[in-house]
């Protein structure tokens, strides 16, 4: 036992929490861009593009995020990049989140009723115009609740960045615990902070879902 | 700076990987069975007219779904040990995974129960079946059938998430990988192989659930359509 | 054409179903406002009336799918309005068939029929199977033992639902608009089964819109209006209504 929990420790945890939020934003933006491209590729008229993007989704969704983290960390350095934990974690989460967003958003694009596609075609709009002006605005509305819901998964998943040495909330808890050895207290505090970050977003997602009138249970990677 | 991959030293250790994969499947199997039961009871409990039970189930589901599995595992493993309850890494891993997947199963099963028309329950009541008999014969199987694809995906995700238990040295696939890469200095190759192994395990699990579905839902086997 | 039934019970028996001044409201809406009627053993009572007149609610109260606010309901030896009623005992004596059949879609017809006898009456499986065969023969569906409900037409499903209820050997059967969800060409086969049951001496209470059928089968007709028994009597009241409401109902309902 090395001393007791003090203000410095809490400050350190606060810093960790900020990094958790920062890394979540990186994953949200990076994964959002990748996911958007994947979603478009999944409904592309080209069969090769559809297959390729489908394979990407299958491969990523068949691999644990933890293994993707290690692959990102050791892979990028094997490729000769000078690798920092932030880079490795950011890249891995982007790859991972991109696959899930891609799948979620593909579903939303395809959930836009068929007559809308046909009507847009009937107006002689180009494919890009159809997508941008008719389909995507409607798909975005459908996509809002599950996207917000998945943000909870992103925040929780950033905890795995601790395995490549990125000091976010979970890792900062481990570090403090190594000096204090009060695991019950410290991990309970960590869990509480995660809960405080995630629960409001869960509530928001549920409210959006109810407003849209879709009451389906959704899949969430643990 | 060319990338040079050498899988041979890693592949040499294939029996270790096999043991790890077996352990991963064992963890997943226990967690799915236990967590499936926890989740089902919890879904029933959330609909209970007893507000204490309903509240307890809701609190469990929300707590688990809004905190990371890694932290849950640390809390159970190191936390319990620090107050005098020492369990093996394997039992803690299995328990934590079961508790975790139980919360997700509860949400899915709740949707399944809600999809059963009240008229079905009324018909069963009219036949003098007891509450337990109604759940068992009339509600449970059709509810599971309605959400079977979601359950399958959730259970595959659970199998993948079991990799997190390597952080408390449960000797499953990812823990084996961590050991092999430090032994061979072939980290990238090791994790590529392990990623492929997980993809294979996902496919195996999906196939197993498909086969189980064929046994559980004879009506669908004969008529093809979901309820 | 009213059916003649032999007077088979010489001793005076207690009625099977008694409703006495039954009141029931859904919130501010009064659905039953002092409803009383009595069904003797072997009798067929037909409840008619416009939708919202309370006839289905009255029927559902008999099996306690609705709780009443005041009054008394007795079914065989059960006090249905009692707080501590044994619902499962009541429902072993009362069979109910619904408008939407409500067969269990994941079970075969045989499993639908044997479920309650095996689970509730602890009947042996083989015995229950024989019972299912007998009940299906009674409704003319012997060849559908192993079919799933969705493989049957609406009329066949409704007959199977009747067989399922009969398998519990109830003392009284309730029919809640059992032909309303059926195409006109399928109602006949279901009505024929019910007619046969009546001829076999089954005590029945039914809500129906089939006036011709009611005229032929009913020992008693109860016309409900605004939550009350507005007019009641033998089937002849359908031909010679005493109240303008029944006259209008029969006139338009035919």
Report pLDDT digits (tens) over A118-177. Answer: 888 888 888 888 888 889 999 999 999 999 999 999 999 999 999 998 999 999 999 998
| Closest chain B residue to C91, measured at CA | B128
pLDDT beneath 70: ranges in chain C:
1-12, 252-254
Residues 5-44 in A contacting B (C-alpha not used; CB under 8 Å): none
Locate the chain C residue with the closest alpha carbon to B122: C65
Tokens of B84: 């005098």
Task: Looking at the complex, report in whole angstroms how far the Cα of residue C236 sits from the nearest Cα belonging to chain B.
Answer: 32
- Tokens representing residue C249 in the block: 């109902």
Q: With beta carbons under 8 A apart, name residues in chain C contacting B120.
A: 102, 104
Token look-up 């009339």 returns B138
Burial A103-135 (b: 16+ CB within 10 A, else e): bbbbebbeebeeeebeebeeeeeeeeebbeebb
Cβ <8 Å between B142 and C106: yes
What pLDDT was estimated at residue C184? Answer: 87
- Chain C contact for B122 (CB, 8 A cutoff): yes
Task: List, for residues C162-187, the tens digit of each pLDDT value.
Answer: 999 999 999 999 999 999 989 988 99
Q: Give the residue from chain C lying closest to B118, CA to CA.
A: C102
- Biggest CA-to-CA distance, chain B: 77
The yes-or-no verdict on residue A221 having pLDDT over 60 is no
State whether B223 and C150 contact (CB < 8 Å): yes
Look at B191 and A160 and tell me if their CB atoms are within 8 Å.
Answer: no
Query: Do A183 and A3 touch, CB atoms closer than 8 A?
Result: no
The predicted structure's pLDDT at residue C252: 62
Torsion of CA A68, A73, A75, A78, to 10 degrees: -170
Answer whether A174 sits within 8 Å of B74, measured CB to CB.
Answer: yes
Calculate mean pLDDT across residues B15-32. 95
pLDDT of residue B125: 96
- The CA-atom distances, in angstroms, between C235 and each of B157, C143, C179, C242 are 66, 36, 20, 13
pLDDT band, residue B186 (cuts 50/70/90):
confident
* E strands in C27-171: 29-39, 44-49, 70-75, 78-79, 94-97
Angle in degrees, CA A85, A86, A92, rounded to 5: 90
What's the rounded mean pLDDT across residues B182-191?
88
Residue of A nearest to B112 (CA): A217
- Please name the residue of chain B whose CA is at the shortest distance from the CA of residue A59: B199
Chains A and B touch (3+ CB pairs under 8 A): yes
Subunit contact B174:A64, Cβ cutoff 8 A: yes
Is the CB of residue C158 less than 8 Å from the CB of residue C178?
yes
Cβ neighbours of B216 in C, within 8 Å: none
Q: For a pLDDT cut of 90, what percent of chain B falls above it? A: 77
Q: Is the minimum CB–CB distance between B18 and chain C shorter than 8 Å?
A: no
Residues of C in contact with B126 (CB under 8 A): 63, 65, 91, 94-96, 98, 165
Q: What share of chain C is helix, strand, coil (3-state, %, to 5)?
A: 40, 25, 40
Using the Cβ of C100 and the Cβ atoms of chain B, whether some distance falls under 8 Å is answered with: yes
**Is the pLDDT reported for residue A218 higher than 60?**
no
8 A C-beta contact, residue C78 and residue C254? no
Whether residues C105 and B125 touch (CB distance < 8 A) is answered with no
A67 shares contact with chain B (CB less than 8 Å) = yes
pLDDT greater than 80 at residue A50? yes
pLDDT in tens, A191-201: 999 999 999 99
- Average pLDDT (B53-73) is 96
Chains B and C form CB pairs within 8 A to the count of 73
Query: Could you report the per-residue pLDDT of A83-98, keeping only the tens digit for each?
Result: 889 989 999 999 999 9
pLDDT digits (tens, 9 = 90+) for A175-186: 998 888 888 999
Question: B111: which residues sit within 8 A by CB, 6+ positions away?
Answer: A215, A216, A217, B146, B147, B150
Residue C12: the pLDDT is 60
Predicted confidence (pLDDT) at residue B1 exceeds the cutoff of 60: no
Whether C88 contacts chain B with CB within 8 A: yes
Rounded Cα distance between A20 and B195, Å, is 25
- Give chain B's domains with CATH numbers: 22-73+88-163+197-223 (1.10.3720.10)
CB-based contact A170 B195, cutoff 8 Å: no
Q: How much is the average pLDDT of A10-18?
A: 92
B105 pLDDT exceeds 50? yes
Tell me the three state secondary structure of residue A24. Answer: helix
Neighbours of chain C (3+ CB pairs under 8 A): B
**Cβ B71–A75 below 8 Å, yes or no?**
no
Neighbours of B129 (CB within 10 A): 22
Q: What is the pLDDT of residue C1?
A: 44
Q: Who contacts A212 (Cβ-Cβ below 8 Å, separation ≥6)? A: A141, A142, A144, A145
Instruction: Identify the closest residue of chain B to A155 by CA–CA distance.
Output: B68
* Residues in B touching C100 (Cβ below 8 Å): 119
Per-residue pLDDT tens over the stretch B135-164: 999 999 999 999 999 999 999 999 999 999
Mean pLDDT computed over B95-116: 96
Report pTM: 0.89
pLDDT at A213: 65
B215 touches chain C (CB under 8 A): no
Task: Suggest the residue from A24, A61, A62, A169 to mutate for an interface test with chain B (most B CBs closer than 10 A).
Answer: A62
The whole-angstrom distance between C43's CA and the closest CA on chain B is 21
Report the DSSP pairing between strands C220-225 and C70-75.
unpaired
């Amino acid at each position: 036992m090395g001393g007791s929990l003090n203000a410095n420790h809490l400050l350190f945890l606060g810093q960790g929490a900020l990094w958790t939020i920062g890394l979540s934003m990186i994953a949200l933006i990076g994964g959002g861009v990748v996911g958007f491209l994947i979603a478009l590729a999944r409904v592309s008229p080209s069969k090769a593009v559809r297959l390729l993007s489908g394979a990407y989704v299958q491969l990523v969704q068949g691999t644990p995020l933890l293994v993707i983290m290690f692959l990102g960390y050791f892979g990028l350095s094997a490729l000769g990049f000078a690798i920092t934990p932030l880079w490795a974690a950011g890249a891995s989460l982007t790859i991972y989140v991109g696959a899930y967003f891609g799948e979620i958003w593909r579903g939303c694009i395809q959930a836009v009723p068929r007559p809308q596609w046909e009507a847009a075609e009937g107006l002689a709009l180009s494919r890009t115009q159809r997508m941008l002006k008719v389909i995507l605005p409607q798909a975005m509305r459908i996509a809002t609740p599950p996207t917000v819901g998945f943000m909870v998964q992103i925040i929780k998943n950033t905890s795995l960045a601790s395995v490549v040495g990125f000091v976010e909330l979970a890792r900062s808890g481990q570090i403090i615990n190594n000096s204090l050895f009060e695991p019950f207290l410290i991990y309970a505090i960590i869990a509480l902070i995660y809960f405080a970050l995630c629960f409001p977003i869960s509530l928001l997602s549920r409210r959006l879902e109810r407003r849209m009138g879709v009451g389906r249970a959704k899949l969430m990677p643990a | 700076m060319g990338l040079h991959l050498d899988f041979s030293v890693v592949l040499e250790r294939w029996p270790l990987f096999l043991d790890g994969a077996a352990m991963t499947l064992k963890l997943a199997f226990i967690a799915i069975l236990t967590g499936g039961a926890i989740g089902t009871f919890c879904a029933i409990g959330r609909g209970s007219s007893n507000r204490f039970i309903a509240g307890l189930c809701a609190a469990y589901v929300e707590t688990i779904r809004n905190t990371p599995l890694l932290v849950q595992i640390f809390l159970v493993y190191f936390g319990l040990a620090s107050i005098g309850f020492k369990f093996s890494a394997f039992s803690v891993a299995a328990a934590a995974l079961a508790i975790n997947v139980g919360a997700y199963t509860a949400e899915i099963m709740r949707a399944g129960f809600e999809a059963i028309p009240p008229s079905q329950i009324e018909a069963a009541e009219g036949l003098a079946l007891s509450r337990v008999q109604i759940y068992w014969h009339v509600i449970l199987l059709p509810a599971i059938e309605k959400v079977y694809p979601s359950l399958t995906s959730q259970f595959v995700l659970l199998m993948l998430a079991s990799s997190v238990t390597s952080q408390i040295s449960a000797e499953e696939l990812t823990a084996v990988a961590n050991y092999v890469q430090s032994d061979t200095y072939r980290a990238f190759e090791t994790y590529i192989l392990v990623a492929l192994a997980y993809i294979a395990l996902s496919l195996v699990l999906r196939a197993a659930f498909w086969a189980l579905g064929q046994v559980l839902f004879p009506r669908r086997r004969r008529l093809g359509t979901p309820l | 054409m009213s059916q003649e039934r032999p007077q088979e019970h010489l001793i005076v028996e207690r009625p099977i179903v008694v409703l006495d001044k039954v009141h029931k409201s859904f919130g501010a809406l009064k659905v039953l406002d002092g409803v009383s009627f009595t069904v003797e053993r072997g009798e067929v009572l037909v409840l008619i009336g416009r939708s919202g007149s309370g006839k289905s609610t009255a029927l559902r109260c008999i099996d306690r799918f609705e709780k009443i606010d005041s009054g008394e309901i007795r079914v065989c030896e059960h006090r249905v309005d009692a707080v501590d009623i044994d619902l499962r005992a009541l429902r072993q004596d009362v069979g109910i068939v619904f408008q939407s059949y409500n067969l269990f879609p994941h079970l075969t017809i045989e499993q639908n029929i044997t479920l309650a006898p095996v689970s509730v009456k602890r009947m042996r499986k083989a015995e229950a199977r024989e019972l299912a065969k007998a009940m299906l023969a009674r409704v003319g569906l012997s060849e559908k033992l192993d079919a799933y409900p969705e493989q049957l037409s609406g009329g066949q499903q409704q007959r199977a639902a009747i067989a399922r209820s009969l398998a519990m050997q109830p003392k009284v059967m309730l029919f809640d608009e059992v032909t309303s969800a059926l195409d006109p060409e399928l109602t006949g086969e279901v009505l024929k089964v019910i007619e046969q049951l009546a001829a076999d001496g089954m005590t029945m209470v039914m809500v129906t819109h089939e006036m011709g059928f009611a005229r032929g089968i009913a020992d008693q007709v109860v016309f409900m209006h605004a939550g009350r028994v507005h007019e009641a009597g033998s089937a002849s009241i359908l031909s010679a209504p005493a109240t303008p409401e029944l006259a209008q109902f029969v006139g338009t309902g035919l």
